[in-house]
Structure 1
Amino acid sequence: MSTFGKLFRVTTYGESHCASVGAIVDGCPPGLELTAQDIQVQLSRRRPGQSDLTTPRNEKDLVHLQSGTEHGVTLGTPIGLLVKNEDQRPHDYTETDLYPRPSHADYTYLEKYGVKASSGGGRSSARETIGRVAAGAIAEKYLKTVYGIEIVAFVSSVGKIHLPALLAPPSLASDDNEDNDNVDDAISEEFRKLLATISREEVDKHPTRCPHQTTAEKMTQRIIRAKDASDSIGGTVTCVIRNVPSGLGEPVFDKFEAELGHAMLSIPATKAFEIGSGFRGTEVPGSKHNDAFVRRPDGSLGTKTNWSGGVQGGITNGEDIYFRIGFKSPATISQQQETAQYDGTSGTLAARGRHDPCVVPRAVPIVEAMAAIVVLDQLLQQDARKAAASRLPPIKTLPPTMVMPKKL
């Protein structure tokens, strides 16, 4: 469906070439100072036409607050967000009347609904993510204001070009000796520092949104090569969420990483999600993979390695949450492709239209937005549980092993 979340609920609307796109946000706490500019910052990071590496579609993506605020303060009622589609070219898609574009959603949408949008990708278009980003900006402001939570995503690979190993998240290992259980720490000190210090300002210094200058230049050349060949290329986005309280997550079916994976894999063009050590963790014995606990300066427990990526048993443990999302090469390309029409007749499709040769630079704020929505929704659920429990009289019969011990 088009609604995500339980207590902080986001419903997006609109197609790629309709009059407008946007969202209804229900469940935002009242009393939050909020203006259109708070939202516009993230929408401007997502908008097309930012550089030669993105689609040339020229959209301002200006957000209009329709409801839910007054005098710059949220009322607790549904917030309506509207962004007009201005640079529409439906005539660029006449070929799709006959041909379903390979690896696109034309065929599957028609199979599901029996009817589809006549131009662009309809609801499968990345234009739909405008509503997500706008809603995520609201969630993020609340998280930052109340909890000091920070969310930063960055491009970690384009095609076969990756961040240097010391700055990259854990990945598949290659070891010819199958019996060798020796393994370096999956999270290098350099990667830990990157997770702890990376800022959006640093990410946005380069059009690729890769925080490593040499790698970013190589990524640029790879994207331009795909663009010049009327082709496309995929990549990965890594994201870190800092200062998340422990205790978030609703086992067993709504574990924190399950909700996070749900959110990320709902983004157009995503094909993979991993959290913490991810697939690398499948190759490491438990004796080396387990996160040993250590005492923090404030007396609380932390972990020595954080291979778990901040989540254990589906519940956050207070460490940085880090994860990675894989985005496939965009399906819409301008090359001629041998394929079949809807009636099965073989033919050649030469798609027109404007598309990103690589989506990952513009996917960064979308990933951040969906992460913010998940965290706020989980926080509101946990706050509700704590508030309900606080109204009960203290239980004096529980053994010490069943309650949280006092900090030393």
Structure 2
Amino acid sequence: MPNSFGKLFTISTWGESHGPSVGVVVDGCPPALPLTEAEVQAELDRRRPGQSDITTPRKEADTIEFLSGTFEGRTTGQPLAMLVRNADQRPGAYDEMREKFRPSHADFTYTTKFGFRDHRGGGRSSARETIGRVAAGAIARKILKLSGGVEIRAFVTQVHDIVAPTVVKFPTLAQVEATAVRCPHPASAERMIARIKQVRAKGDSVGGVIECRVRGVPVGLGEPVFDRLEADLAKAMLSLPATKGFEIGSGFGGVLLKGSQHNDVFVSRRGQVGTATNRSGGVQGGISNGEELVFRVAFKPTATILQNQRTVDLRGARTELKARGRHDPCVVPRAVVIVEAMTALVLVDHWMRHAAQNKTFKF
């Protein structure tokens, strides 16, 4: 189904940007997992709007409510439903967009596909839908941590043409959260924040790149053909609003190397097989090899900008649109936690699938 993700650990998100609420149903969560609303809330607080002066000013507490699937602080193994109520709704700000198509937005494609659309902030095409992903990802993240100590860290490496140097390959959470832009290189973060404020003052927007690194992934997650681990990670990341690119390991830069330069040589490390380099990004043949997962996601500039733009209306007549409403001038700072959530969802699903195929039956 188009609103569901995963095979064994499955999530289904629902709700619209300016409807009464948004949420998610998680199916396949193991029973007896210790879980509180506060643990999920901590991740939602990192995603919520209005948390700094470089994000949308929409004021939402994004308070999570458990509706089912837990009892006395533990999961029951049954569907776990979570809800967040929309408090700061201003659908009137989108009246001008009822019949006008916003450039590079989903307005035209949604209208053509479904015959009509929810023009209030884009409805399901709004990034507010990702609340459900982050809530579900918090649960997946805890399962991974308790099962094998997996640690997921995403951070901003580029905003517009400002690229942060690689100083610390696996920054701490404190280093990432130290600035509003979530770049662990302070000098670059300062320049990125200044650039975002500069374009926002002109009613414009910029994009950027998020890098994600994962430690503690066991060997064997993923499949060799259609459900390759990197393929499912790519699908997860490119399902996020505003994404335009995905690369793993050496990525597109790898085309500049010869095979003799690019190959990751196998070595023995503390009695275990490892690789001297990690240009594969932790995946070989579609299966995790035990090294760090390393990938990057490119986000385009926010499509809705506060400048006059030429467009057409529902009848194809030329017109002009100046968008209203509250929007992020750059989505990457708040997208960091969403990238981490989707990474956790992919990994926990593959972990369960691996265990079901390789550990359940003994011959």
The corresponding residue for 1:120 is 121
The corresponding residue for 1:245 is 218
Does residue 387 in structure 1 map to residue 359 in structure 2? yes
The corresponding residue for 2:343 is 371
Deviations 1:165-209 (A, max 9, x none): xx0xxxxxxxxxxxxxxxxxxxxxx5xx523xx122210010000
Deviations 1:235-293 (A, max 9, x none): 01000011000000022000000000000000000000000000011111000000000
Does residue 154 in structure 1 map to residue 144 in structure 2? no
Once superposed, what is the RMSD of the aligned Cα atoms?
0.8
Whole-angstrom CA distance in 2 between matches of 1:309 and 1:251: 16
The corresponding residue for 1:180 is none
Deviations 1:297-351 (A, max 9, x none): 1x11000011000000000000000100000000011101122212121111011
Contact 2:107 2:119 in 1 (8 A): no
Structure 1 or 2, whichever has the larger Rg, is 1
Whole-angstrom CA distance in 1 between matches of 2:323 and 2:119: 14
Deviations 1:9-37 (A, max 9, x none): 01000010111001000001111100001
The corresponding residue for 2:300 is 328
What SS class does the counterpart of residue 302 from structure 1 fall into? strand
Does residue 134 in structure 1 map to residue 135 in structure 2? yes
User: 1:124: how far off?
Assistant: 0.5
**Which structure 1 residue ranges, 5 or more long, are not aligned?**
168-189, 393-408
Whole-angstrom CA distance in 2 between matches of 1:388 and 1:47: 40
Whole-angstrom CA distance in 1 between matches of 2:193 and 2:98: 34
Deviations 1:38-75 (A, max 9, x none): 10011000000011100000000000011101011011
What SS class does the counterpart of residue 238 from structure 1 fall into? strand
Q: 2:253 aligns with which of 264, 273, 280?
A: 280
What SS class does the counterpart of residue 328 from structure 2 fall into? coil
The corresponding residue for 2:238 is 265
Whole-angstrom CA distance in 1 between matches of 2:133 and 2:188: 29
What SS class does the counterpart of residue 361 from structure 2 fall into? helix
Q: 1:289 aligns with which of 262, 278, 281?
A: 262
The corresponding residue for 1:44 is 45
Give the share of equivalent positions with the same residue, in percent: 55
Does residue 217 in structure 1 map to residue 190 in structure 2? yes
The corresponding residue for 2:325 is 353
Whole-angstrom CA distance in 1 between matches of 2:292 and 2:79: 31
User: 1:98: how far off?
Assistant: 2.0
**1:148-187 alignment to 2 at 5 Å?**
148-164=149-165, 167=166
User: 1:383: how far off?
Assistant: 0.6
Query: What's the TM-score once normalised by structure 2's chain length?
Result: 0.99
**Which structure 2 residue ranges, 5 or more long, are not aligned?**
none
User: 1:148: how far off?
Assistant: 0.2
Aligned residues: 362
The corresponding residue for 1:181 is none
